[in-house]
Structure 1
Amino acid sequence: MNPTKDNSFIENEEENQTRAVTEKSTHDAGVQVEYPRGLKLIAIMTSLMLGTTVMALDATIISVATPKISTQFRALEDVGWYGAAYSMLLTAMTPVASNFYKYFQPKYVYLGSILIFEVGSVVCAAAPTSASFIAGRAIAGIGAAGLLQGAFGILTYVCTLEKRPLFLGGVVSLFGLFASLGPVIGGVLTQRSSWRWCFWINLPIGGLVFALIVLFLSLHGIDQTTRQLPLKTKLRKLDLPGVILMIASVSCLFLALQEGGVKEPWGSARPIGLLVGFCLIFIAFGIWQWKAGEDATVPVRYLRDRTVIWGSLYLFWDNMASYITIYYMPFYFQAALHQSPLKSGVSYMSLAVPQMIGLFAGGGITTATGHYMPVILVAQVLCGIGSGFLTTISTSTKTVVWAVFMVLTGLGIGLGVNVPHIAIQAVMETDNDIFIANGIASFFGQLGGSLAIPISNAVLLKGLRNFVPKYAPGVSADAAIAAGALDVDTLTQSPVDLHGLRQAWAHSVGWVNILLTAVICISVPTALGMRWLNIKKVSQEREQAKQKQAGQNDSKGSLTDHSPN
């Protein structure tokens, strides 16, 4: 038997099956879609919003609980992995999750993502050792990637393109709010009960999401071209080599950022080797994606679309800006203004609440006018003004002043964050294309957010080493860094040096805000690269095309019924 002929036969058979499915789905595409309404729509939107809520909580709730967890496990050296394991798998698996939504039924992929996330939460909550806790964080990160992509993609079956910005704003707004509330909730649970409740809390929320999806989510108008392929063909098209290369490259990058400048100097062999490994593996990943064509994890044709690539780059910078404010403004409140972690969380609401309002407002304006590009440009102006003023904060800055700066920054971040996803849904016509393109954009966004933390940390430390000797000469910079934000009072008995230490922290956070302002300014030209479209017009054209196709299919069906046997 000739193996070459056997392989050729198998490939031809798969092509025939694909062609048959394509012809059927083309006929089905003409069916007019009935979008959910009333109670059913409310239940679906509630489930998607809660799904992003648990994901957002899990990303930030651990920040306050980390000292207690590492102390209980006696594993201070593992602290960096508590956040990195989650964000590393979330980033790497985001485009992979998009492929699963492309080849399998979205409802079941979303339910599977919830289960994986819940399993990760249980492993964390019940973890007897630091290693098992890290494993739970990694599992939760995999599930979170599916939740994020599912929320973006399922909206294509819930409402027309014209209404999608408003619905998308609702889903993402809770993400921003609860990402900001995470440290506050984590602090309350850790202080009043146990750090383990930071993860047990995900179970009832996730269970409610699972039940609502099972009971109310029935999707119509799904492109069956890829979803009706044989399982063997689907598994081959999931691009396992590409997935392995993606995870390996992202892991090298995260390890380098985790250890460089923290455990070992940046000039040492290990961080440099990891960065070189990241570059080489990422190049190999790019070559493989080019060779894999449409079966790639990240098909190259999407990167040729200017809205996808420029929108992805915008999300990279926008998420970087968002994470800088989430992680580093609390240092100003706690170290410079001497606020408790709980009060610091309340102060941060001056940015988080306007950010949520901006998300809703941006979606509402885009839905009403059809234009999304003016929204993102106004957003960047507001954000740039607010962050620019935040570079001037000091210990003497009045509350109303820094609060106004925070409001402007939060409103700007909220207004702009959804625009790339809206633009992608305007330029991509099929649900499969929307899943993959959104996956690419989300990958860049997660990567930007993850890179923001170590880069900002380096800026903060450099600022402390510069300002502590200047404002508090009686205290060493290394001692101030080792004490952290909450133990500033323990470093000196001198009121002058204590005031100087707080001033040093304020100016160091000001340096971080200079980075924030630079990031926002860089994001403006990337936003301008996206196509200027009116989504109301695009939506109307698509609905008319569906109705026309449905009418043609009805005519063909009528002719077939009356044809002689």
Structure 2
Amino acid sequence: MIGLGFGVFLAFIDMTIVATALPEIGSQLEAFDEITWVASSYMLTATALQPLYGKFSDIFGRVPVILFALVVFLVGCAICGAAQNIMTLIIARGLAGIGGAGLVSLCMIIISDIVPLNKRALFLGAFGGVFAIASIAGPLLGGAFTDYVSWRWVFYINLPIGAVTLIVIILFLRIPHKSGSILAKLRKIDYLGTFLLVGGIVFILLAILWGGKDYPWDDKRIIAFFCIGFGLIIAFVLSEVYFASEPIIPMELFRFRNVCICYTSVFFLGIGIMGAIFYLPIYFNVVRNDSATMAGVKLLPFMLSMVFGNVVSGVIIQKTGRCREIVWVGSSIATVGVGLLTTLSRASNAGNEVGYLLIFGFGSGLFFQTMLMICQSTAEESEVAVVTACYNFFQTIGATLGLAILSAIMNNVLNTRLPLIEGLDLAALAAAPSSINTMDVSEEARIQFIDAYVKAISTAFIPIIPMMGVIFLMSLGIKHVPLRKTLTGGAHG
């Protein structure tokens, strides 16, 4: 558990630790206009390859595959830390993403291998706690390393933690797997399906990353990328159904309503959680004039209440064996919480902020890992690896797509309201919105600017309300499946 916990921590912290270091990286490498690709290249490879690790671990075994993912991740981080130009850094981040894609899924899959389903909730809940800690620690450590040591330590810090993880896994992790020659295992890989799936995801993600930022959403290149991406995904589905002897994602899984409901739900939940993590710090930074570090600290109520919700749901599941009722309650609470977040204003006090974050975090934490338990209880134990990898994929793709959607909504509101405010240097404020609190402008202009940001953030959160509501409505259709007390068997729902 210590080794696997470190592995999950590495994967989660690497998603956020780079953010606060990006301006300094762009300045030192003299490539400020390309720094977004430092984050995007990691996200691109990590998201695209995530669904593959479940099937690959079935073919080659859990331990070899997680060791491969960990070594590739560490090699990528080492090259990132030593990079002397932006292109080397971007390529190395993509390499780290190839490894990072497998760390979260493989750690959860391994826990599922060694812990019976009726006791699994507590262990998976612990990983939810690791996610919360990493989400808070990432921006704080990134800022501290950049300010007081060097931005290179944003990447180097992964090496000692990764070394401990590597040693623990090699020495203590013993999971038997099917024997056979490497050539026989290589023949089992669905190469056509792999190409179609990765290609489709990459084209869709590139359209999301570029749309609304580098090119307008109605630009022919963005439309073409979406069309090619969805075309390849359709071809992938047809390939898996009609041609693949060892499909990467068995399509029969989607015939069962529990799996479809949980995958759709975690897609929406990914949007809500990442929206809070990325956009609430902007509220604290601009409206409350908090530093980047303090804005991260103020997210603690959200993250800690998520951890508490994870623990509570784990205890309830272990004692009662019931899952779907927890999703009902959690999604109801989360819907109320995100609704309250849309009411935050310039006049809101600390009690409002903390209270609303606690409600949304606790509700989300209650059913975040619970839905994975429902998916795993629906599938046979032999399908758990694929089910888990796909669950993490839908969460990640939801977070990625959600950030693009929320960003587009927020920018649309700002682009409508900010030009109407007289006496502001909008170019300077675009680079550092919080400087409005120290800039020599009229009090009226400052209030109008802050109100514009409050309106933009609250408007961006409004679509999350119906998403949480849809999760509740869909959860009413979840079929109860008794949790297995052994590591064999399964029951579809």
Which TM-score bucket, shorter chain as reference?
over 0.9
For 2:246 and 2:380, the matched residues in 1 are separated by: 19
1:336 counterpart = 2:296: no
Tell me what 1:6 maps to: none
Give the Å deviation of 1:487.
2.8
TM-score by length of 2: 0.95
Matched, 1:194 2:140: no
- Structure 2 counterparts to residues 108-507 of structure 1, below 5 A: 108-219=64-175, 222=176, 224=177, 227-430=178-381, 432-468=382-418, 472-475=421-424, 479=427, 482-489=430-437, 492-507=440-455
Q: Deviations over 1:440-476 (max 9, x none)?
A: 2221111101111111111111121234356x44437
Distance 2:114 2:318 in 1: 15
Once the two structures are superposed, the pairs formed by residues 28-177 of structure 1 within 5 Å of their partners are: 45-177=1-133
Count of equivalent residues? 490
Q: 1:525 aligns with which of 457, 466, 473?
A: 473
Q: Retained in 2: the 8 A contact 1:293–1:299?
A: no
Please tell me whether the aligned partners of residues 80 and 258 of structure 1 are also in contact (alpha carbons under 8 angstroms).
Answer: no
Indicate conservation of the 8 Å contact 1:393/1:507, yes or no: no
Deviation at 1:480, TM superposition (A): 7.1
Q: Report if aligned partners of 2:429, 2:435 keep a CA contact under 8 Å in 1.
A: no
Write the deviation string for residues 6-55 of structure 1: whole angstroms up to 9, x where unpaired.
xxxxxxxxxxxxxxxxxxxxxxxxxxxxxxxxxxxxxxx11111111111
Matched to 1:448, the amino acid is G
> Is the contact between residue 190 and residue 244 of structure 2 (CA under 8 Å) also seen in structure 1?
no
Counterpart contact for 1:117–1:143, Cα < 8 Å: yes
Cα drift, residue 289 of structure 1:
1.5
Q: What secondary structure sits across from 1:377 in the alignment?
A: helix
SS in 2 for 1:162: helix
**Are the aligned partners of 1:480 and 1:491 in contact in 2 as well (CA < 8 Å)?**
no
CA contact (8 A) 2:309 2:364 kept: yes
Quote how far apart the aligned CAs of 1:360 are. 1.5
Q: Distance in 2 between matches of 1:516 and 1:123?
A: 38
Q: Counterparts of 1:528 and 1:232 in 2: how far apart (Å)?
A: 47
Question: Counterpart in 2 of 1:549?
Answer: none
Flag the 1:469–1:491 CA change in 2: closer, same or farther, 3 A: farther
CA-to-aligned-CA distance 1:70-122 (integer Å, 9 cap, x gap): 12222223222122211111111111111111012212211221111111111
Secondary structure in 1 matching 2:248? coil
State percent identity of aligned pairs: 27
Cα distance change on mapping 1:305 and 1:100 into 2, 3 Å: same
Which amino acid in 2 is paired with 1:533?
A: V
Partners of 1:90 and 1:311 lie apart in 2 by: 21
User: Aligned partners of 1:449 and 1:328: how far apart in 2?
Assistant: 13
Deviates more, 1:400-409 or 1:354-363: 354-363
Task: Name whichever of 491-500 and 362-371 sits farther off.
Answer: 491-500
Deviation at 1:294, TM superposition (A): 4.3
Distance 1:491 1:245, change over 3 A: farther
Aligned counterparts of 1:525 and 1:238: Cα–Cα separation in 2? 38
Are the equivalent residues in 1 in contact too, given 2:136–2:297 (CA < 8 A)? no
Task: Return the TM-score normalized by structure 1.
Answer: 0.83
Q: Give the CA deviation at 1:491.
A: 5.6
Using the alignment, how far apart are the partners of 1:406 and 1:151 within structure 2? 28
**Unaligned 5+ residue runs, structure 2?**
none
Report the 3-state secondary structure (helix = DSSP H, G, I; strand = E; otherwise coil) of the residue aligned with 2:206. Answer: helix
1:299 & 1:228 partners in 2: Cα distance? 23
Q: Is the 8 A contact 1:260 1:271 kept in 2?
A: yes
RMSD over aligned CA atoms reads: 2.0
Q: Letter of the aligned partner of 2:64 in structure 1?
A: Y
Q: Structure 1 regions of 5+ residues with no counterpart?
A: 1-44, 547-565
